[in-house]
């Protein structure tokens, strides 16, 4: 198994001058929590960090601070998320069968969730972590008027990791490239080739740092998880 940690985004919704991945979260950058979790999971033979141009020294310094033991490498991010994923896939060494793709800004993913997602991908070809939708979801028109209410019993919010047999995700993204599509979700590429995707439901906290309001919640949850494992 290998993992691709996507860490090339700037996080513009955090505001000007903020690199969300390096915002301090209980003593470590957000991406440091993510990287450490995948390193210490014992599930991976290699980790690929997809980073922005010029950021490799900062990530190497972070690796030294974290004392990362899993072999890792860096590759450069692309213009779109899909391009970054492809660059990560191209950087995976020989001998890898399964790959987990993880948002660097999702620091609380549990090892149990990663493990289950990998196991499902090994069996079915593709799997994605997801949670049930508790809010009522409505569709609207271009002017913002409600069109209809969706049945939330069949709705799921997908997260990461998204795990795949390596040959399958490569074929899926090649198909998206062939069609000229730019997808923000890796499993959406699998839908193009009619690849079945298993949803791995979890109730464990797995939020992503997207806006400033997310940081206090992440800090609180991180502290609670740390206390539970001390």
Higher pLDDT, 143 or 184: 143
Strands (E), the chain: 2-7, 24-25, 28-29, 46-51, 72-76, 98-103, 126-132, 138-140, 146-149, 156-165, 198-201
Q: At 110, phi and psi to the nearest 5?
A: -80, 150
Decide if pLDDT at 170 tops 70: yes
CA distance from start to end of the chain: 28
Segment 184-210 shows an average pLDDT of 95
pLDDT band for 230, please (50, 70, 90 cuts). very low
- Taking alpha carbons only, the member of 29, 215, 13, 211 closest to residue 21 is 29
Predicted pLDDT of residue 14: 54
Predicted pLDDT of residue 18: 67
Q: At 193, phi and psi to the nearest 5?
A: -105, 15
- Condensed to tens digits (0 to 9), the pLDDT of residues 42-56 reads 999 999 999 999 999
In the predicted model, what is the mean pLDDT of the chain?
93
pLDDT band for 11, please (50, 70, 90 cuts). low
Q: Retrieve residue 104's tokens.
A: 């660097």
Segment 60-80 shows an average pLDDT of 97
Residue 43 to residue 74: CA distance in whole angstroms: 19
Predicted pLDDT of residue 222: 87
């Amino acid at each position: 198994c290998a993992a691709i940690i996507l860490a090339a985004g700037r996080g513009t919704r955090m505001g000007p001058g903020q690199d969300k991945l390096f915002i301090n979260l209980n003593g470590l950058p957000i991406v440091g929590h993510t990287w450490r979790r995948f390193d210490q999971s014992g599930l991976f033979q290699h980790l690929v960090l997809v980073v922005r141009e010029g950021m490799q020294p900062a990530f190497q310094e972070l690796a030294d601070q974290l004392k990362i033991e899993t072999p890792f490498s860096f590759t450069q991010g692309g213009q779109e998320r899909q391009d970054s994923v492809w660059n990560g896939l191209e950087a995976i060494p020989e001998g890898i069968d399964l790959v987990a793709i993880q948002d660097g800004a999702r620091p609380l993913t549990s090892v149990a969730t990663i493990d289950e997602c990998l196991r499902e991908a090994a069996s079915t070809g593709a799997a994605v972590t997801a949670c049930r939708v508790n809010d009522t979801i409505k569709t609207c028109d271009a002017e913002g008027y409600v069109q209809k209410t969706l049945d939330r019993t069949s709705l799921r919010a997908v997260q990461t990791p998204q795990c795949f047999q390596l040959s399958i995700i490569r074929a899926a993204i090649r198909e998206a490239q062939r069609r000229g599509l730019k997808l923000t979700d890796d499993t959406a590429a699998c839908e193009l080739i009619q690849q079945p995707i298993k949803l791995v439901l979890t109730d464990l906290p797995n939020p992503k740092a997207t806006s400033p309001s997310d940081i206090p919640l992440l800090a609180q949850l991180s502290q609670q998880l740390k206390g539970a494992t001390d």
